[in-house]
Structure 1
Amino acid sequence: MALHIGAHVDQEDPIAEAQARGASVAQIFLGDPQSYKGPVIRFEGGAEGLKARAAEAGVDLYVHAPYPINVASFNNRIRIPGRKLLQQHVSAAAEIGAKGVVVHGGHIGADEDAAKGFDNWRKCIDGLDMPVPLLIENTAGGDNAMARRLEAIARLWEAIGQASGGDTVGFCLDTCHAYAGGIELPTVVDQIKAITGRIDLVHANDSRDTFDSGADRHANFGSGSIDEEELAAVVRAAQAPVVCETPGGVEGQSADITWLRERAEG
């Protein structure tokens, strides 16, 4: 199977960035990833121009939502603006023809009831208009994270399944986050699919950190802590588009794309 593979790239001209890497997938932010401000289309031709350019080039676009979004939070000043911002990014992603929007699962406080955090996710999905799929990404850190441990992911998916529109929610599997979050990679694909029924996107990253460390520092393939064959096997088993979020710009990511094609295509 030929890999449908790419990288997270700069948003000004993601098609040129993908082509420079020999990629057929490009993941981008829309604006500042650390801000609560609404999405910004920085491509010179605007949303319609980017959509047309991507279709012409045969590049699939994915949008990564801003990091501050935490729709599980008990804090109204975090949860409510996060829901609104997530809706804005989903709508903007549809305008550029993106295949999906990746968002982190979020977390709650140490003394807070996890059940309410999962229900906050249900309420969020109930209220979202999703012209493109929302892809929830597993995270690496925090004992009160909504999407670190398999048990939490199962509870999250149960809550989402009760929401109208829950069938539009998919899963993004990050290999670095899974490894550093304490999930064994040789069985992660089967375990996630048993819970969610699907893996829509893989964030293929090596890890600068150790197993179950709770850290999430990405590394280029072969330079981190993850066994090379285990990482390649995850990509083969997932049978989903792949985004490398590794460092090094064009040179580093091009090398990673080549590395993965050599080991994971079958």
Structure 2
Amino acid sequence: MPLFGAHLSVAGGLSKAVDAAVALGMQTVQIFTHSPSQWVVKPTPDGRWEGKELPEDEVTAFRQAAKKAKLKFLTAHDSYLINLAAPTTELYEKSIAAFGNELDRAESLGLAYLVTHPGAHVGSGEDAGLAKVAAALNVVHRQRPDYKVKVLLELTAGQGSSLGARFEHFAYLLENVEEPDRLGICLDTCHVFAAGYDLRTDAAYDATFAEFDRLIGLKWLKLFHVNDSLKPLGSRVDRHAGIGLGQIGDHAFRRLVTDPRFRTKPMILETPKEDAAGNPMDPVNLGKLQAFLAETAG
């Protein structure tokens, strides 16, 4: 069966997310290893960028909690500030250093995956932006030859100049990165829908995954972000909604969690944490996914 989880808070310590996942009956979890809106690198006098390591006690507590919980495919998402496609030298070099630091943190915690958005070309053009992303990934991989954590490139809604809204972008990156086996793909259902790939009917669902398989290959699909979309098909606007509460609807998620091709894949909720009345929604959205699975099993 799929491994259900959610992106959970690490307030009070990284291991708290593991405890919360267990309490909710999850089989996997995703975290930030630091505030996603802050840089964790600073310039050095000789012009390099210096990263910030996790405290040893934090690493030990997380590893112990994860081992006890027996969660699978533990994952981190990188900082929103990182742009591996940046056309300006300073931001590009800073982003490479920060992404390397994200990999260092993920490796120290024993995580399976680090999810990242491909970046934004900011007017330089898709071809130039994708080439810079491939080059950046080659740099961080060469610097860390023995790391086990995989980088998962996430499909995006395509807002602004963001890369990653077309399957062809990922085909290019897998072909132009020196060590593609250290990569995988994260498919966010909200993002792919907002980018123009329909999932709502059986025919649309089948066509979208057939196109993914043709251009990229399903073997590269390692993890799902399971989110409904507040905005319509092709809007190119990234706004998540609870399962069945957006423009995608229940049927696509029922298909996804019962699709035999994805029966062992982690499926991470990034849906709103509370409803309008302040009630927690992770248990509700998790319950919907579990109910869809039970319907078929029954």
Fold shared per TM-score above 0.5: yes
Matched with 2:46 is none
Determine whether 1:149 maps to 2:162.
no
Deviation, structure 1 residue 78:
1.7
Matched with 1:23 is 26
Q: Quick check: 1:134–1:169 contact (8 Å CA) kept in 2?
A: yes
SS of 2:280's equivalent in the other structure is: helix
Q: Distance in 1 between matches of 2:167 and 2:110?
A: 31
Q: Quick check: 2:168–2:215 contact (8 Å CA) kept in 1?
A: no
Q: 1:142 to 1:124 in 2, by over 3 A?
A: same
Moved more, 131-140 or 45-54: 45-54
Q: Quick check: 1:139–1:181 contact (8 Å CA) kept in 2?
A: yes
Match of residue 229, structure 1, among 237, 251, 275: 251
Deviation, structure 1 residue 133:
0.1
Match of residue 132, structure 2, among 89, 97, 120: 120
Q: Distance in 2 between matches of 1:82 and 1:248?
A: 29
SS of 1:193's equivalent in the other structure is: helix
Q: Distance in 2 between matches of 1:156 and 1:218?
A: 26
Determine whether 1:76 maps to 2:89.
yes
Match of residue 59, structure 1, among 44, 51, 71: 71
Deviation, structure 1 residue 152:
2.8
In the TM superposition, what are the counterparts of 1:1-266 in structure 2 within 5 Å? 2-11=1-10, 12=13, 13-38=16-41, 41=54, 45-60=57-72, 61-110=74-123, 112-128=124-140, 129=144, 130-142=147-159, 144-160=161-177, 163=178, 165-185=179-199, 186=205, 187-197=207-217, 198-237=220-259, 239=262, 240-248=265-273, 251-264=280-293
SS of 2:232's equivalent in the other structure is: coil
**What's the Cα RMSD here?**
2.1
Q: Quick check: 1:26–1:62 contact (8 Å CA) kept in 2?
A: yes
Q: Distance in 2 between matches of 1:113 and 1:247?
A: 33
Deviation string 1:23-51 (CA, Å, 9 cap, x unpaired) is 11110001110111256758x94112201
Identity of aligned residues (%): 26
Give the partner amino acid of 2:211: Q
Deviation string 1:226-251 (CA, Å, 9 cap, x unpaired) is 13111332343351111000112583
Q: Distance in 2 between matches of 1:99 and 1:114?
A: 29
SS of 1:203's equivalent in the other structure is: strand
In the superposition, the TM-score normalised over structure 1's length comes to 0.90
Q: Distance in 1 between matches of 2:180 and 2:239?
A: 30
Give the partner amino acid of 1:63: A
Deviation, structure 1 residue 64:
0.4
Deviation string 1:156-189 (CA, Å, 9 cap, x unpaired) is 33323xx2x2211100000000011111221333
Deviation, structure 1 residue 220:
0.7
SS of 1:116's equivalent in the other structure is: helix
Give the partner amino acid of 2:253: L
Q: Distance in 1 between matches of 2:286 and 2:53?
A: 28
Q: Quick check: 1:207–1:218 contact (8 Å CA) kept in 2?
A: yes
Q: Distance in 2 between matches of 1:138 and 1:5?
A: 19
Q: Quick check: 1:208–1:218 contact (8 Å CA) kept in 2?
A: yes
Q: Quick check: 1:171–1:196 contact (8 Å CA) kept in 2?
A: no
Q: Distance in 1 between matches of 2:70 and 2:197?
A: 34
In the superposition, the TM-score normalised over structure 2's length comes to 0.81
Q: 1:98 to 1:57 in 2, by over 3 A?
A: same
Deviation string 1:94-121 (CA, Å, 9 cap, x unpaired) is 11111110001111123x2322211112
SS of 1:251's equivalent in the other structure is: coil
Q: Distance in 2 between matches of 1:136 and 1:70?
A: 13
Q: Distance in 1 between matches of 2:249 and 2:149?
A: 34
Deviation string 1:48-69 (CA, Å, 9 cap, x unpaired) is 2201210111123210000111
